[in-house]
Amino acid sequence: MKTINVAFGLHNHQPVGNFDFVFEDAYKKCYLPFLELLERHPKIRLAQHYTGILLNWLDQHHPEFVPRLRALVEQDQVEMMTGGFYEPILSVLPDRDKVGQITKLTDHVKASTGYSARGMWMAERIWEPHLPKYCSQAGVEYVVLDDSHFKCAGLRDEELLGYYLTEENGSTVKLFPICEKLRYTIPFQDPQETINLFRKNASEAGTNLLVFADDGEKFGVWPGTYEHCYEDGWLESFFQALEDNLDWINLIHPGEALDTIPPAGRVYLPTASYREMMEWAMPTKAIHEYEHLEETLKQQQLHDRHKAFVRGGFWRNFMVKYPESNNMHKKMLHVSRRLQGLTETHGSDPRFLEAQDHLWAGQCNCPYWHGVFGGLYLNHLRYAIYHELIQAEAILDELQYDRKKTAWTDHAVFDFDADGADEILVANPVLGLGVSPGQGGAIFELDYKPAALNLLDTMTRREEAYHKKLKAASAQQPPEASSGVASIHDIVVMKEPDLDKQLVFDSYRRTSCLDHFLAEDTTLKGFARCDYQETADFLRGAYSHAVESTGAGLSVHLSREGNVATASGVVQVYLSKRITIDATHSRLQIDYKIKNFDNQPLQTWFGSEWDFALLAGDAPDRYYQVDGVTLDDARLRSSGELSGVDQVRLVDEWLKVRVAVAATQNPRWWRFPIETISQSEGGFERVYQSSVVMPHWRLAIEPGRSWNAKIEIEVSSLA
């Protein structure tokens, strides 16, 4: 009889910062019912990976779960896998953090289940050739990766019925190829389709091995899968089909395969992830071209045969596609370097270890990229990353500076975001500030340390490749209901009507302290939709910069000469803005000076844009507050114009934070929300990102004369 070895593996994960109700829903719909089904089918054997984030949540909210999992491990039904504790993209971490994250989860798995994990789940199956060295250092013997990785190296389907060795400078690790066909038959097709695939690959020698490894959430969390897998009985039927064929299907743990099946050879894999991820990492226009090429190949019946050679991009380019991701990543690297620098003097201090754990939690991959899942566009996930990293920095501040010293300022000037130009980081005990002289003299980060909150953590509204699908779906009649359950990659669902009409794309990156010179016909609605005209070249221009001591603190002096188009001609202008913080307060002061360098009068309209990210735009406990004014709509997602006031406040009672924006010279004020239309596992959705507050002035400046104004941003705690 022909037989085959089959190794199953499941990866279970929830991001740092995900809502408790999301964890609980996944527990009830997926993690618990799957465990219960395993208990009823003791002959079903598989490997399981739970991220440290999820294990911590289970220990806290359902302490009965892990002992039941341990029982399955002890009866050899389940093999546990390790990985990065907080599910990071290992390849983009500092080396010490790579090994530390894996070791932390391996130790946790051993303590909680009694199993010494031999293999690991590689987050998003993102592979780079240098990783074997660090996997080996962390004690990892094997990794599971997509078969497409191997096909990119030239291997064919018939050569992927086993596992391979790879190495980096002599450090070896074994690699198991995940069968892509199984990822699409399980659980989306009749169980017999999978059994037929097993039979097709069975052999007389019985040494062939097929591997299925995928997200555990596709068994209950993905749309429609709870009903499909449990209520309609697909998973029970699948387990029964396996049990009915165990005379020729050998369910084997990957670790067991290492001991009983020799490797098929040695291989060196290129940088890769699963095919969809490599597509998502490309720029939008390139994705459109890629999709067109794939469709052409399908029409010519060439795609299935040659798709291994049709590759998308490279995961790291998410940090090019999304500067917001790049800023988070470079913030993480900066915190890691600070931690590394204190290892020798403070490495055994419990506070140092606490800071290290906050750093590692801030490396969770989910908000660093975006595809079919919400990821980077979900503000609560970005908030969680910054929350962890800022907590780590606050501890490092205590260790680096005298703990008893509550008044200090410090700064660093270096190429923070690796764009070829210097940025400026300024800090005191309560604030952290990031300034980009080369990009409009903008402030791209403002950390309020008592709340561990980056107040400027917003997103730019960009065109995404899937917006084409949104427009197409909006133009069509609702599709007829289909039988079965669709893959998450094929679902087109809108969470509210007419989302296509709310698509807005920004012409510049949304940061703060942005200098706008507006055309006369600019309206609030037009400005909010980025449908207006700039009359000067300050918004994206490079500013000269200098950091100066003020006695009580530090100031960053930014200046630029430029041209402003007016009705009477082009006027040469000098703009200076001095950003000052002192050694104790959570207050920024921005002193503006605009000087007419020309020999003709300057009539212009100037505004300073600030984007504040306070997580929710519709909640009743997040609102605008203006002394002496009752706003018709005070929600943070409201729009409106104010005059005759010198201060506008944004209040977030949930975060317990108040931001007061004050300005001199009798400005008018605009406010409006930044909301993106993005794709998530549940469909297309509108996501609140931030609230724009912009004081603006009509200026008339004679030749050689100057206009001066002051803006103050003060952050305070409601606690």
pLDDT tens sequence across 13-42: 999 999 999 999 999 999 999 999 999 999
Does residue 377 lie in a domain region? no
Active site residues: 124, 215
Does residue 565 lie in a domain region? yes
Buried b (16+ CB within 10 A) or exposed e, 377-404: bbbbbbbbbbbbbbbbbbbbbbbbeeee
Q: Which two tokens stand for residue 675?
A: 């909301």
Whole-number Å distance between alpha carbons of 255 and 80? 10
Sequential DSSP letters for 237-260? HHHHHHHHTTTTEEE--HHHHHHH
Whole-number Å distance between alpha carbons of 249 and 105? 32
Does residue 595 lie in a domain region? yes
Q: Give the model confidence (pLDDT) of 328-352 as tens digits.
A: 999 999 999 999 999 999 999 999 9
Within the chain, which residues score under 50 in pLDDT?
477-483
Query: What CATH number is associated with residue 692?
Result: 2.70.98.10
Does residue 302 lie in a domain region? no
Please tell me whether residue 685 adopts helix, strand or coil conformation. Answer: strand
Q: Which two tokens stand for residue 537?
A: 């070249």
Whole-number Å distance between alpha carbons of 624 and 660? 10
Does residue 344 lie in a domain region? no
Q: Which domain holds residue 93?
A: 4-273
Whole-number Å distance between alpha carbons of 706 and 594? 5
Does residue 589 lie in a domain region? yes
Name the domain boundary from 249, 273, 297: 273
Looking at the 3D structure of the chain, how many domains does it have?
2
Does residue 516 lie in a domain region? yes
Name the domain boundary from 241, 273, 305: 273
Q: Which two tokens stand for residue 333?
A: 């690297």
Q: What pTM was computed for the model?
A: 0.95
Contact residues for 423 (Cβ-Cβ < 8 A; gap 6+): 413, 414, 415, 416, 417, 434, 435, 436, 437, 438, 444
> So what's the pLDDT on residue 496?
82
Q: Which two tokens stand for residue 249?
A: 């299907």
Name the domain boundary from 256, 273, 290: 273
Residue with the two structure tokens 């010279």: 665
Does residue 39 lie in a domain region? yes
Query: What CATH number is associated with residue 94?
Result: 3.20.110.20
Whole-number Å distance between alpha carbons of 407 and 312? 51
Which of 582, 626, 590 has the alpha carbon at shortest distance from 608?
Answer: 590
> So what's the pLDDT on residue 305?
85
CB atoms under 10 Å from CB of 406, counted, come to 12
